[in-house]
Amino acid sequence: MARKQTFRIDLHVHSIYSGESLADPRDILEAALEKGLDGICITEHESMYASRPFEELRKDYPSLVILRGVELSTDAGHMLVYGIDDTEWNDWGKYKMCNGQELIDRVRKLGGIAIPAHPWQVMESSGSQEGLQFTVDERITALSNLAAIEVCNGKQLGHPVICEILGAFAKQNGIGGIGGSDAHTPENVGNAYTVFRAPVYSSRDLVRALLSKVYYPQTL
Ligand SMILES: [Zn+2]
Ligand SMILES: [Zn+2]
């Protein structure tokens, strides 16, 4: 069998355990397989624990890599956290808003990676829906030690220019750009994803791959 040249993972998915999604875990995993993804990362809001039931499902979906991360609220917007399996950090965002820079630095020290999710904003001067203009979220432009940003988010596909703006920002700053669907329903799983050049089988692989910057965001 020929070795796969690329490895496609949707790095931003919510399930019923996020509290605001009705997506059944098995429906999500079936959808991921149908869309031809190699892997999926569940990133429930504010809690790493919430996605624990997915651990049990791994054995039923051997051809799909199932990873778990978390999406935390910070003073610099939402951040996706990957590669931290211990639990000490889980409560950071539970009771108060995290400081974005602190989160990036602490997660990195623990061997993981924190990545701003959907870091764009509408420019003040915009008028009608058609005339909307977008820019990089100014809160993330002040951050240091950024390894990557979420360049393509499935919820922004109606405005492809956002991907372009964020992709240009990532390039200018020499950081990586990931893609994730931000799906809250099975239908939206895989609408955006990240293409890696090498297989990713574990959280550790994922962090290593994300730091390598040899990947790119893709939309369906
Ligand atoms: Zn978000
Ligand atoms: Zn999200």
Checking DSSP bridges between strand 176-180 and strand 192-196, what pairing results, if any? unpaired
| pLDDT for res 90 | 62
Checking DSSP bridges between strand 65-74 and strand 39-45, what pairing results, if any? parallel
Q: Which domain holds residue 192?
A: 7-219
User: What is the phi/psi pair of residue 197, to 5°?
Assistant: -85, -15
Distance 180 CA to ligand 1 centre (A): 11
Is 154 in contact with 14 (CB distance < 8 Å)? no
d(CA 89, CA 79): 14
| pLDDT for res 61 | 97
Give the DSSP letter string of 51-109: GTHHHHHGGG-TTSEEEEEEEEEEBTEEEEEES--SSGGGGHHHHSPBPHHHHHHHHHH
Distance 22 CA to ligand 2 centre (A): 14
| pLDDT for res 220 | 83
Distance 78 CA to ligand 1 centre (A): 5
| pLDDT for res 140 | 97
Distance 1 CA to ligand 2 centre (A): 36
Structure tokens at 75: 């003073």
Distance 190 CA to ligand 1 centre (A): 16
Domain membership flag for residue 2: no
Domain membership flag for residue 170: yes
| pLDDT for res 172 | 97
| pLDDT for res 115 | 98
Looking at all shown ligands, the one closest to residue 183's CA atom is 2
Is 202 in contact with 23 (CB distance < 8 Å)? no
Domain membership flag for residue 163: yes
Domain membership flag for residue 160: yes
Q: CATH code at 150?
A: 3.20.20.140
Distance 3 CA to ligand 2 centre (A): 32
| pLDDT for res 119 | 98
Domain membership flag for residue 1: no
Distance 129 CA to ligand 2 centre (A): 23
Strand partners, 67: 41
Domain membership flag for residue 145: yes
Residue type, 135: T
Question: Which of 2, 45, 1, 11 is closest to 207 using CA atoms?
Answer: 11
Looking at all shown ligands, the one closest to residue 14's CA atom is 2
How many structural domains is the chain composed of? 1
Distance 35 CA to ligand 1 centre (A): 22
**Which residues of the chain register pLDDT less than 70?**
1-4, 86-96, 124-130
User: What is the phi/psi pair of residue 23, to 5°?
Assistant: -75, 120
Distance 118 CA to ligand 1 centre (A): 7
Looking at all shown ligands, the one closest to residue 74's CA atom is 1
Domain membership flag for residue 177: yes
Distance 117 CA to ligand 1 centre (A): 6
Looking at all shown ligands, the one closest to residue 118's CA atom is 1
| pLDDT for res 152 | 98
Write down how long the chain is. Answer: 220
Looking at all shown ligands, the one closest to residue 21's CA atom is 2
d(CA 26, CA 179): 22
d(CA 9, CA 21): 20
Domain membership flag for residue 56: yes
Distance 14 CA to ligand 1 centre (A): 10
pTM of the entire predicted model: 0.93
Long-range Cβ contacts of 197-203 (<8 Å, 24+ apart): 197/5, 197/6, 197/7, 198/7, 199/4, 199/7, 199/38, 200/7, 200/9, 200/38, 200/39, 200/65, 200/67, 201/65, 202/67, 203/67, 203/68, 203/69, 203/82, 203/83, 203/84, 203/85, 203/112
